[in-house]
Structure 1
Amino acid sequence: MKTSISLRKALVLTASGAALCFSNAALAQTANEQDDTSVQETVIITGTRGAPRTAFDSLAPVDVISEKAIDLTASDEVMDTLSQLVPSFNVKRLPMADGQVFVRPASLRSLSADHTLVLINGKRMHRSALLGSNGAQAPDLAQIPSYAIKQIEVLRDGASAQYGSDAIAGVINIILDDEAGTNAFAQAGQYYEGDGEQYRIGAQQGFQFDNGFLNLSGEYTDAQPTSRSRQRADAIALQEAFPDLNVPNPVQHWGQPERQAYRFALNGAYDFANSEAYVFSTYGFGTGVTDFNWRNPLSTSAFGDSTIDPDYDLSEIYPAGFTPRFGQDDNDFSLTGGLRSADDGKFSYDLSASYGRNQIEYFMYDSINASLGSASPTSFNIGTLTQTELNLNADFVYLASLDFLADDLTFAFGAERRNEEYEIGQGEYASYAVGPLAAEGFPSGSNGFPGFSPDQSGSSDQTSYAAYVDLEAPVTDRWTVGGAVRYEDYSEFGSSTTGKVSTRFELTPGLALRATASTGFRAPTPGQLFSERTSQGLDTTTLNIFTSGRFSPQGAVAEVISQRDGVNIRALEPEESDNITAGLAWNTHFGLTATLDVYQIDVTNRLSTSATFAVTDAERAQFAALGVAGAESITRVNFFQNDFDTRTKGLDLVMAYNFAFGPGEVNLTGAYNYNKTDVTGGDFAANTTSADRFEKGIPEHTANLQANYTLGKWDMFGRMRYYGEWRDYSGNSTGDIFQDFGAMVLFDLGATYQVNDNLSVRVGAENVFDQYPDEATYQASRGLIYSRNAPYDTDGGQYYVRLDLSF
């Protein structure tokens, strides 16, 4: 499958012109308006079952990211915005890393991507169908149109007792827009290198009724690929040896993928007497394509002569070798509806049902199934992954007036039923077939990413039930305590009980101490429990292709490997955690606010990919007898396992200061995060190579500082982003090679001019000084210049221009 980029651009330009013609009049916030209140006075709803409170009054640390702050980042993906504004949040690009190129893993406080619970309007968001780094299965934040977001609240505290599984590191609550008015934007930009052109356009229409509201949002993105690559040494040698060949330069591109995406959101509510019916939904679909490793015709096993099929000659199809092109079509939908109390009485309720579905269909072209010989196609439908979830929630709150308390006791309780289903749809036959030429050593399956076979396809599900009680008690005017207990029972592994206690004491009206202690857990998903797949990679030393298989820990392959001495592949169990957070919040009368929090998170039974087992000839024969797809070429296997324990210690400092400067106003915000993880037990404790990935793969020190200056019709901002030292690994089949990288400081600049009441223009640049990290020494043979695992964008500077319209 290939995408018509010229058609996409034409659509964007046409739509941009149409956006400029909107003429309806409605109230909307102008681009250069400043909030009248400090960040800590912003009302939040995350982390409490009681009435909304301010960030300053919260019992746990909460970051609030406004709609305006989201619009000041060039990317269309929410996770990039979070990574620039919340130092403890990290996201990677991971070029040429299969599906993770499109569904990028993100982490809070350096924990796994699925250790952070994601909510939309306070309701659990469904997971992506992708099992990413170390098997993590987290929601795909890129599916939410950033133009539809009113506010993001990031609770940096364990909250499993309040919200259920996954909330070990914290909670991200995305609040959809509910304002009236007509708004639209168009944005275009590219990198300094002249690639990575991105075109974005969005529109939003909000309606306000006597008894409710309806807000509709839509966004389209067309992003072209980037390439920070140099020619591979073996490609240079091939060109020199065969001057008549047309060897592409470079033969493979390391960078961001080509992608197009449509994202939509709906948010509405309607009052009936004392009740309010509400509904919100997101829908998105898109496509993306990226490169895989180049196959050298002189060393790749797919090339060669066949006695069985004399007509097979891959050098006629790919005389200069081939670079498989890997892509996905994604389709994502969620719908939540419910009925809740609409008054401020003593008793309130919220009854809701949520449905979510994420589907990824993989495809590949410019490839081959060499085992089929001359009968092989060069393009393949690899198969589909589908994650489906259905949640039923009943939440209640009762405000009890007790004489010995300074205010009402908040008594919250509720129940939840959740069903998750994971399905693997098989690819077309040629994508997984083991053809007759396999007997001669030609590899089977679509080269680069074998399709899902009938044995790998199928579905599995899991149902859970939960009940909780959550209390908040204002003991005095200054002292508030809270506690929560949650019980959950899962069909696949049993039950879990978690708890949380919180306290906040106000030393003065502007200075408060707070602390929490909690237990948490994350339940393994059906995809992690039962799914299987094989993939191919390229050894960075030998440049030979190897085939890996990741199999269910409860399957036949696990039983074969467990026959080895000292090896026991175990069924998965929940990950469990103990969280402690303590800190202070400071709110002054002269515009300065600050929070300082220290934390410790102990996680046991952490899920990861097990050690890799090199497969013997005898084991390969056993796999073949069991009907394992591609058994003849599997060189190594691994499994998801509860392998190790970690302790994460850290500190968060967040500050904001608003003040007048000359004829204008300055808004300064800054944040710093120190985060250190140590492997404390399990299989990784004695394995330095494995432990290093978790202890040093993300910088221990990160920070940002942003300044906004508003003067008349101008609104200017500058942002500094700091990333400390970190360590990378090579990912070789025979063992990892490590490389240390130094600190990076990146600067972003932008200026917005309010042309009139309806139109503003912004010009901006990210990484304005075009900074690049050190080159990746151990991956140079693959044509890679900068590490694929970097915790920041390695494509250099980019600039953009944006038009915003409000009517």
Structure 2
Amino acid sequence: MLNRSRNLVALAILAALSPISNSAFAQDSSLDLSGNVQDKEIETLIVTGTRSQARTQFDTMSPVDVFSRDEMDATASSELVDILTTLAPSFNVQRLPMNDGLVFVRPATLRGLSPDHTMVLINGKRRHRSALLGSNGAQGADLAQIPAAAIKRIEVLRDGAAAQYGSDAIAGVINIILDDSVGVSGYTQAGQYFEGDGFEWQTALRAGTKLGDDGHLSATFEYTDASMTSRSRQRGDAIDFEQQTGIKVNNPVQHWGQPERTALRLALNAQSSMGENNWYGFATYGESEGVSDFNWRNPLSTSAYKPSPNNYPDYDLHKLFPAGFSPKFGQEDQDFALTTGISGDVTADFSWDASISMGSSAIDYTLDESINASLGTDSPTQFYLGQLKQSELNANLDFVYQWANRILVYPANIAFGVETREETYQIGAGDYASYAVGPAAQEGLPSGSNGFPGYSPQQAGKYDQRSYAGYIDIEAPINDQFTTGIALRYEDFSEFGDTLDGKVSLRYELSHDLAFRGTVSTGFRAPTPGQLESTRTSQGLDTVTLNLFTSGRLSPTSPVAQYFGAQPLQAEESTSYTLGITMRTDSGFNGSIDIYQIDVDNRFGQSQNYNVTESIRQELLSQGVAGAESFTSVNFYTNAFDTRTRGIDVAGNYTFATAYGDIRVAGAVNYNDTEVTKQDGTISDSGVVRIEDGLPKFSGNLSATWQLDSWEYFARLRYFGKWTDSADQASGQLYQDFGSEMLLDISATWHSSPAFKVRLGVENLFNNYPDEATLQASRGLIYSRHAPYDTDGGQYYVRFDYKF
């Protein structure tokens, strides 16, 4: 905590040497002497990164991207994670086929940091986490559960903001503003890939009406149905098996690609007067189900095909699955969130807001076409594997005071408040056969459902954590050119202790159209109950030997984990610096350049795999660890390393009129470089490579929209730089470097009337694919599953929009 104390002292000194923050009103609006905004407003007012009531992208002291409804609609996918990846170069999401639950809940990263280093808000209120612990144990919000058709705009704050919003806001904040407009709108879309698979049908309907004199009520329905994609070759061992035995196998025996999936998403958004106060409420609901392939089990080498002469003499898996089997991994999930609150004014300068938010994410796993070989002939081929559930309850009380003082050119904005939050993580056991260690285990037959052993009663449990927080966030203009701000937040967690974080922001306006800005902040991310307590058993395939291996993730507090160096989990701590320039011109150009550095200490990750000796196996069995008799290795979550991330964001757009219609050009480039500056030896070399080089350092996009009479033409170029794939294998670490990639998207939209329009679009027009992968080639994979972009090739679609 010594370095953290020094950082806070530095922040306090900087705050003492500089005045207090940010202009309370939009700089591009004219103001009268009392500070009231006049009619001149030319930019969208934003609410993220500030608690002032009227601020634009040009006015902010931290970089904020704003994406409109029209920009979101110019993508083929309905999932919010894909939309943001297309729009923001600093945001990335991977497909991760055949990767357990990550196939369905895909991790999204901002500035290359962990998925749970970005806080997600809806209408300014914290969104709950997904129940899935993803790569390196990251537990972020599942953005795909939010219906894109319900969104008015998205604001992405690319700056550390834990002092303003609390745990998780190390990389930044994504604030989703729900649509509150009056009217009926919707769309229907159909499309598929050039390869002829991955057909997807989407439809959505949103209806909004007035509620009272100044309120609103809107409801959104969204549904998607997508078939799977497959970019696979036949496995070499499958070809050999067919030649040796004469038994015909499927070609391919396993599919690498997107899963088959259906999803239903709903949203409500309302606001109404309650006498002198104002009531608001909003809710989202999502449910989906999908199926994905697992690795093919070869009858000639898979241990489940061994006979069981002593316990089950009639057991013969060759009769049940003569051509081998590829287990079908299924997920059914339900996601619900509800926020309600009341706001009002104490005086004309003093307002308050009280709210309660609750949310839950529940995921049920199933496995089909598999076997628990240790149960022999008593084993079913379909399994319920258990449930993961994350629940959260937040209560907030916030105040904003407009403090007028003659030394300030405009009133200072003083926000303060308190928050309490309770997180609960639950693991529900699967059916007995999914985790059972049957009698045939003594004969060397593997236990648990093959491919994904179910959660056992020993792994099941309920864990919670409470926190209490208080904050103050002050913004004030010193004069017409200079603004500055300070935020402090104290938070105490029941499971690991307390933390104090701060942020200082400065902005200097050289002219009406040019300004410098900068911030210094500390931040944190508290370990979640699921990360602190949960355990897991998983299976994988060594791509060199093609043998299955079983790994156990242990709690960091278990004696075996501590034997290998595990320590109780602590909060991740960060220090962030940003410095930027923002500009605009009367001719229609807006742009910004921001450089940043983010130091994160005690970063959370998963340790390397440690080999299990017979003595360790007996110790695990004595602790009641399910499946320990087949463990080949164990790992655990750990605060294993420190990182330093440095980068630059460049963004701009230019809108102009010509004799042949209006044209808007927009572009953004991100350079992001992360270095592991310290580690304790518990993470593997390939783990370091994934952190430092697993995503491109350079990414960018450039788009142009041409409006000509009733037609709108659109083109977007997406660029992804070089990156490196790596994999831990039982036989060692493997690496492969990949080159840069460029994808072109185009569309043409016909506005047949003010109420209807039709769009024809193509994403990845030239059907580009990355270099072929060598790491998983023996498993039939053609393109790396860790690619930072879609590897299914070109996709075309047609979309019908209506609005009344």
The TM-score normalised by the length of structure 2 is 0.94
Match of residue 707 from structure 2: 710
Change beyond 3 A, Cα 1:423–1:39? farther
Among candidates 762, 776, 784, match of residue 787 of structure 1: 784
Match of residue 698 from structure 1: 695
Judge conservation of contact 1:166–1:521 (CA < 8 Å) in 2.
Answer: yes
Q: Gaps (5+ residues) in structure 1?
A: 1-36
Judge conservation of contact 1:93–1:104 (CA < 8 Å) in 2.
Answer: yes
* CA–CA distance in structure 2, aligned partners of residues 346 and 540 of structure 1: 66
1:690: Cα distance to partner? Answer: 2.7
Match of residue 560 from structure 1: 560
Among candidates 364, 373, 382, match of residue 385 of structure 2: 382
Judge conservation of contact 2:361–2:391 (CA < 8 Å) in 1.
Answer: yes
5 Å-filtered alignment, 1:581-600, equals: 581-600=578-597
Match of residue 430 from structure 2: 427
* CA–CA distance in structure 2, aligned partners of residues 620 and 798 of structure 1: 49
- State the identity %: 56
1:569: Cα distance to partner? Answer: 1.1
Match of residue 642 from structure 2: 645
**SS of residue in 2 equivalent to 1:769:** coil
5 Å-filtered alignment, 1:165-564, equals: 165-209=167-211, 210-243=213-246, 245-307=247-309, 308-341=311-344, 345-555=348-558, 559-563=559-563
Among candidates 118, 133, 136, match of residue 134 of structure 1: 136
Residues 369-400 of structure 1: CA deviation (Å, up to 9, x unaligned): 00000000000000000000000000101011
Change beyond 3 A, Cα 1:368–1:141? same
Residues 85-131 of structure 1: CA deviation (Å, up to 9, x unaligned): 11000100000000000000010000000000000000000000000
Match of residue 23 from structure 1: none
* CA–CA distance in structure 1, aligned partners of residues 255 and 725 of structure 2: 20
Residues 676-695 of structure 1: CA deviation (Å, up to 9, x unaligned): 00000122599643321111
**SS of residue in 2 equivalent to 1:604:** strand
* CA–CA distance in structure 2, aligned partners of residues 106 and 419 of structure 1: 24
AA aligned opposite 1:638: N
* CA–CA distance in structure 2, aligned partners of residues 704 and 198 of structure 1: 25
Judge conservation of contact 2:759–2:799 (CA < 8 Å) in 1.
Answer: yes
* CA–CA distance in structure 2, aligned partners of residues 38 and 342 of structure 1: 26
Change beyond 3 A, Cα 1:40–1:385? farther
AA aligned opposite 1:735: G
Among candidates 112, 115, 118, match of residue 116 of structure 1: 118
Residues 711-769 of structure 1: CA deviation (Å, up to 9, x unaligned): 11101100000000000013322322110000000000001101122211000010011
Residues 487-513 of structure 1: CA deviation (Å, up to 9, x unaligned): 000000010000000010100000000
Judge conservation of contact 2:760–2:798 (CA < 8 Å) in 1.
Answer: yes
5 Å-filtered alignment, 1:710-749, equals: 710-749=707-746
Judge conservation of contact 2:608–2:683 (CA < 8 Å) in 1.
Answer: no
**SS of residue in 2 equivalent to 1:562:** helix
**SS of residue in 1 equivalent to 2:304:** coil
**SS of residue in 2 equivalent to 1:194:** coil
AA aligned opposite 1:101: V
The TM-score normalised by the length of structure 1 is 0.93
* CA–CA distance in structure 1, aligned partners of residues 562 and 702 of structure 2: 52
Residues 497-532 of structure 1: CA deviation (Å, up to 9, x unaligned): 000000101000000000000000000000000000
**SS of residue in 2 equivalent to 1:231:** coil
Change beyond 3 A, Cα 1:130–1:561? closer
1:163: Cα distance to partner? Answer: 0.1
Judge conservation of contact 1:271–1:342 (CA < 8 Å) in 2.
Answer: no
* CA–CA distance in structure 1, aligned partners of residues 659 and 144 of structure 2: 40
1:40: Cα distance to partner? Answer: 8.6
* CA–CA distance in structure 2, aligned partners of residues 710 and 722 of structure 1: 25
Change beyond 3 A, Cα 1:38–1:562? farther
**SS of residue in 2 equivalent to 1:593:** strand
* CA–CA distance in structure 2, aligned partners of residues 428 and 401 of structure 1: 65
Change beyond 3 A, Cα 1:669–1:469? same
1:342: Cα distance to partner? Answer: 6.8
1:535: Cα distance to partner? Answer: 0.7
Change beyond 3 A, Cα 1:684–1:410? farther
Match of residue 606 from structure 2: 609
1:611: Cα distance to partner? Answer: 1.9
User: How many residue pairs end up in the alignment?
Assistant: 764
Among candidates 769, 773, 782, match of residue 766 of structure 2: 769
Among candidates 658, 665, 670, match of residue 667 of structure 2: 670
**SS of residue in 2 equivalent to 1:340:** strand
Residues 652-703 of structure 1: CA deviation (Å, up to 9, x unaligned): 0001000112320000000000000000012259964332111100000000
Judge conservation of contact 2:640–2:682 (CA < 8 Å) in 1.
Answer: no
CA RMSD of aligned residues (A): 1.4
* CA–CA distance in structure 1, aligned partners of residues 662 and 676 of structure 2: 47
* CA–CA distance in structure 1, aligned partners of residues 667 and 41 of structure 2: 12
AA aligned opposite 2:573: E
Change beyond 3 A, Cα 1:229–1:639? same
**SS of residue in 1 equivalent to 2:566:** coil
Among candidates 152, 155, 166, match of residue 153 of structure 1: 155
Change beyond 3 A, Cα 1:781–1:804? same
**SS of residue in 2 equivalent to 1:540:** coil
**SS of residue in 2 equivalent to 1:43:** coil
Residues 592-611 of structure 1: CA deviation (Å, up to 9, x unaligned): 11100000000000000012
Judge conservation of contact 2:608–2:682 (CA < 8 Å) in 1.
Answer: no
**SS of residue in 1 equivalent to 2:241:** helix
Match of residue 103 from structure 2: 101
AA aligned opposite 2:440: L
**SS of residue in 2 equivalent to 1:302:** helix
AA aligned opposite 2:673: K
AA aligned opposite 1:532: T
* CA–CA distance in structure 1, aligned partners of residues 780 and 347 of structure 2: 63
Judge conservation of contact 2:409–2:478 (CA < 8 Å) in 1.
Answer: yes
AA aligned opposite 2:428: G
* CA–CA distance in structure 2, aligned partners of residues 517 and 319 of structure 1: 63
* CA–CA distance in structure 1, aligned partners of residues 54 and 642 of structure 2: 36
Match status 1:71 vs 2:68: no
Match of residue 752 from structure 2: 755
Residues 69-90 of structure 1: CA deviation (Å, up to 9, x unaligned): 1111111110111111110001
AA aligned opposite 2:296: W
* CA–CA distance in structure 1, aligned partners of residues 167 and 261 of structure 2: 32
* CA–CA distance in structure 2, aligned partners of residues 609 and 389 of structure 1: 24
Match status 1:654 vs 2:645: no
* CA–CA distance in structure 2, aligned partners of residues 723 and 597 of structure 1: 20
* CA–CA distance in structure 1, aligned partners of residues 302 and 176 of structure 2: 47
5 Å-filtered alignment, 1:28-107, equals: 41-107=43-109
* CA–CA distance in structure 2, aligned partners of residues 742 and 211 of structure 1: 55
**SS of residue in 2 equivalent to 1:621:** helix
Judge conservation of contact 1:39–1:55 (CA < 8 Å) in 2.
Answer: no
* CA–CA distance in structure 1, aligned partners of residues 762 and 366 of structure 2: 34
